[in-house]
Amino acid sequence: MVRQTELAIICTSAGVVIGILLSTSVFFCIRWCKKGSDIGDRVIANHHIRQNGQGLGLDGSASLSESVIVPLPELTVKSSAPLWLNHHNKDRTASVSGIPKYSYKDIQKATQNFTTILGEGSFGPVYKAAMPTGGIVAVKVLASNSSQGEKEFQTEVSLLGRLHHRNLVNLVGYCVDKGQHMLIYEYMSNGSLEKLLYSEDDNLTWEERLQICLDVSHGIEYLHEGAVPPVVHRDLKSANILLDHSMRAKVADFGLSKEAVFDGRKSSLKGTYGYMDPAYISTSKSSVKSDIYSLGVIIFEIITAIHPHQNLMDYVNL
């Protein structure tokens, strides 16, 4: 009787041990399979981001604005573009960035031979254009005497091909044809924040000013924490904040932007004086902190309606 009891205890103990071993083996097999799947997903995602970034080195440290853009085969535009872009044209193709490409003839027709000018910046003049199906866009043309050039043009197309956020201006097309370089954006009917702040009939309410601050903050947060790798804008200012028909703000002009590189390397100064981080000016090392400084200047500018070139910082120091 005692032997039977001992045998039952031994069998039970052995069964428990075997069960634990099997459970542990299954658990680690599941963890191993899941880890392998996650690594595969990350490799694929990283490959996609680097492909859209164009020109990144193997160590990921090369900036977009300093990389060499290698021409890749172009693909015919698919019907995934917005409805108002879907008109039949043999010259229109999609680049590897996913941004539709237009011919000069397309843009010339849409702008009615470049007649309605919306404004002009360091890049060149901006024209209002009506697409065949009724959509309104803004066309920015690179001027021959522009302080910016083809590198900035390529940077903007490359970056906006992979950056998508409700508080970033959407690039809907571009044109490289007949010696012309053009960027095609969604139309922001209320223009720039700078224009609104310093117009004679400035009637921005405090609610609108607060919402603009929040919108810009969300856009910058996405660049710094949502984009992979992070992006430093490097030219944040009120002139580069645009407002749509409902007074929602979006960050624009990414020509001087670069991927954040934390290797201590110096680069040539880029940006607009009055908005530039003093530490960046003295060290020539840009970081996400430089954008945060510029954002702070913009917020003070929204509150006071004093331009940085008009001794805004003296007012703040008071």
Domain containing residue 165: 71-186
In this prediction the pTM is 0.67
pLDDT of residue 243: 97
Which of 98-102, 159-163, 192-196, 197-201 holds the top average pLDDT?
192-196
* 84, part of any domain: yes
- The closest alpha carbon to 145, from 129, 178, 121, 128, belongs to 121
Per the structure, the count of domains in the chain is 2
Task: Say whether 106 is catalytic.
Answer: no
8 A C-beta contact, residue 212 and residue 195: no
Please provide the average confidence, as pLDDT, over all residues in the chain: 74
Q: Is the pLDDT of residue 105 over 80?
A: yes
pLDDT of residue 124: 85
8 A C-beta contact, residue 299 and residue 316: no
Of 186, 208, 242, at which residue does a domain stop? 186
Q: Which of 38, 91, 201, 235 is catalytic?
A: 235
8 A C-beta contact, residue 290 and residue 234: yes
* 146, part of any domain: yes
Q: Is the pLDDT of residue 39 over 80?
A: no
179-190 pLDDT, tens digit per residue, is 899 999 999 999
The percentage of the chain sitting over the pLDDT mark of 70, rounded to a whole number, equals 62
pLDDT of residue 56: 33
Higher pLDDT, 311 or 252: 252
CATH number at residue 269: 1.10.510.10
Alpha helices by DSSP H, listed for the chain, are: 2-53, 104-110, 150-160, 193-197, 206-221, 278-283, 288-304, 312-317
For β-strands 241-243 and 171-177, DSSP reports them as unpaired
Q: How confident is residue 55, by pLDDT bands cut at 50, 70 and 90?
A: very low
Beta-ladder partners of 94: 75, 100
Q: Report d(CA 9, CA 5) in Å as an integer.
A: 6
Of 155, 186, 217, at which residue does a domain stop? 186
Q: Is the pLDDT of residue 127 over 60?
A: yes
Same domain for 227 and 167?
no
Read off the pLDDT of each residue in 93-114 and give the average, rounded to a whole number.
82
Of 186, 215, 250, at which residue does a domain stop? 186
